[in-house]
Amino acid sequence: MSRLPVVGQDNNDWGNVLNDYLSVSLNSDGTIKSSALTTKIGTAVGSLTVTNVWAGSQAAYNALTPDASTLYFIQ
C-alpha cells in the first residue's frame, strides 16, 4: 500500500516513497488518472478542460446556473 514519506525515516528513499504515493492518482506527466476521477466524482469523461474560474459567495453560487467548463470556488 502506498504511503507518504515519514519524517526522520525513509532516509535515502523518501523520493521513491513519495513518487509511489503520487502514482496512485497521477500519471507520470502529472495529469490526473481517469481512475482517480472515477473513484471520486463518478464516471470519468476523458480529459477535462477548465475554461473559466469563478469565486464568490455561497449565495451568489446558489443563484448561478453552473456549467461543466467552469471551476467554482466558494469564499
Q: Quick check: is 9 in a domain? A: no
The pLDDT assigned to 74 comes to 74
Identify the pLDDT of residue 46. Answer: 63
Q: How many domains does the chain have?
A: 1
Q: How far apart are CA 46 and CA 24, in angstroms?
A: 18
pTM (two decimals): 0.47
What mean pLDDT comes out for the span 26-47?
69
Strands 52-56 and 70-74 turn out to be parallel
| Residue 3 belongs to a domain | no
What are the Cα distances from residue 53, in Å, to 27, 29, 65? 24, 23, 14
Residue 20's domain comprises: 14-74
Measured between alpha carbons, how far is 69 from 47 in angstroms, rounded to an integer? 12
